Amino acid sequence: MRIFFLIRSMNYGGAERQLAALATGLKEIGHRVVVAVFYSGGPLQAELERADICVQELGKRRRWDVRDFFFRLVRLVHQEQPDVIHSYLVVPNILSTVLKIFSFKTKIVWGVRASNVDLTQYDWFSNFTYRIEPLLSHFPDLIIVNSQAGLGNAVRQGFPKGKMVVVPNGIDTLRFAPNQGARDRQRARWQVKDHDKLIGLVGRLDPMKGHLIFLEAAAKVKEGRHGVKFVCVGDGTAAYREGLESVGEHFGLKKDLIWAGTYGDMAVVYNALDICVSSSYGEGFPNVVGEAMACGVPCVVTDVGDSAWIVGDTGIVVPPKDPEALAQGLEVMLARVSGTGSFPFRGARKRICLEFDLNRLVKRTSEALETLFD
């Protein structure tokens, strides 16, 4: 099968990591894979190229560089003659539907990877595209959703349930695995002592990720404890980051809070943690939770998307947008990891290996695509 992935870029992000892993896995089982990107040069693009996957750069220069960009995309589809165009995220989904006009025989598959997005946090263009997507959702031949929560949310918006299938994300359990040496080295870089407990939030600096809730909860945890450190891994706009840093200082966290920016080797980051936090109030299948668990790190998560299902009985689930509840959850988990030496937390890894291994993602996706040609 000739599969043509369409995505905005291959910068660091959950959807981008999943696409890279999926494209590599599909190629390994015999499919011909091409990945087309709006914007070139993302760090995960190099990962695809190392796997000998063809990456086609569409050369989009800015948001409103539309006409020439679209003509290049149409020419590329004619050149590649794919059996399937598999788009990832809202704008590529909308564009793939338009491409159906120029390639009648090609099957269109959407990738829907969000749940309960708070549109008040985004600009007018994002609001517009999120509202257009449900209106066009009857045109693709198949819609792959990465979470049960995302399926339910999409159906409520008007997506056709009969065209939708849930394929949970896959975690590369060979890449994401407990590693004591990596743990020691990364904690040394961050100047975190062996006996300190390090609590981390991994995710782009975006309102939906709940950094403000995390910072308030961290301040509450610090009130009664010594030897607890916090780290935020990920980046966003300079203005938003500066605002978050100011909030952290306001809560008295400056000496105990690390703003680590973006990391390429996320397995090293997870291994350095004692607890991983997902404080989001809008998620589908949060990769960071599965990746941290695969590294033997227990998680405290908000009850959004499929987070509760992913952690099962290995983690703690709290309501979203509730810093008091998050702080209480962190206190309970700190008590648990203090009694285990905190690393590794084997139950978390075992659950990921059994339920969310990368090979399952590849197999389920391949089977779903093949149903289009039965």
- 81 inside domain: yes
Place of tokens 């409520």: 156
- Cβ burial of 224 (10 Å; 0-12, 13-18, 19+) is exposed
Query: Domain check: are 138 and 190 in the same one?
Result: no
Query: Domain check: are 133 and 209 in the same one?
Result: no
CA 156-162-165 angle, to 5 degrees, is 85
Query: Domain check: are 20 and 130 in the same one?
Result: yes
Give, for all 374 residues of the chain, the pLDDT tens digit: 999 999 999 987 778 989 999 999 999 999 999 999 999 888 899 999 999 999 999 988 777 778 889 999 999 999 999 999 999 988 999 999 999 888 878 999 999 986 655 555 667 777 778 788 989 999 999 999 998 888 998 999 999 999 999 999 999 999 999 999 999 999 999 999 999 999 999 999 999 999 999 999 999 999 978 899 999 999 999 999 999 999 999 999 999 999 999 988 999 999 999 999 999 988 888 999 999 999 999 999 999 989 999 999 999 999 999 999 999 999 999 999 986 555 667 899 999 999 899 999 999 999 999 999 98
Supply 63's token pair: 């948001």
CA distance 198 to 297: 11
Place of tokens 């399952």: 360
pLDDT for the residue numbered 77: 94
Please give the C-alpha separations between residue 99 and each of 78, 106, 199, in angstroms, as whole numbers: 10, 9, 45
Q: Do the bridges between strand 107-112 and strand 84-88 make them parallel or antiparallel, or are there none, so unpaired?
A: parallel
Start-to-end CA span in the chain (Å): 13
- 175 inside domain: no
CA distance 9 to 162: 30
pLDDT for the residue numbered 342: 57
Please give the C-alpha separations between residue 373 and each of 52, 79, 81, 276, in angstroms, as whole numbers: 26, 21, 16, 42
Q: Are 308 and 301 in contact (CB under 8 A)?
A: yes
Q: Which amino acid is at 239?
A: A
- 33 inside domain: yes
CA distance 42 to 206: 19
Total of domains in the chain:
2
Query: Domain check: are 162 and 186 in the same one?
Result: no
Query: Domain check: are 94 and 205 in the same one?
Result: no
Nearest to 368 by CA among 156, 141, 148: 141
Nearest to 73 by CA among 131, 23, 24, 34: 34
Query: Domain check: are 133 and 200 in the same one?
Result: no
Nearest to 203 by CA among 240, 172, 166: 240
Q: Are 342 and 197 in contact (CB under 8 A)?
A: yes
Q: Which residue range forms the structural domain that includes residue 40? A: 2-170+357-373
pLDDT for the residue numbered 288: 94
Query: Domain check: are 216 and 319 in the same one?
Result: yes
- 339 inside domain: yes
Q: Are 199 and 277 in contact (CB under 8 A)?
A: yes
Question: What's this model's pTM, rounded to 2 decimal places?
Answer: 0.81
Going by the DSSP 8-state scheme, the letter that residue 280 receives in this structure is -
CA distance 126 to 119: 8
pLDDT for the residue numbered 115: 60
Query: Domain check: are 203 and 256 in the same one?
Result: yes
DSSP-assigned beta bridge partners for residue 27: none
For residue 362, report the phi and psi dihedrals to the nearest 5 degrees. -65, -45
Query: Domain check: are 248 and 337 in the same one?
Result: yes
Sign of CA dihedral 209, 211, 216, 222: positive
Query: Domain check: are 114 and 10 in the same one?
Result: yes
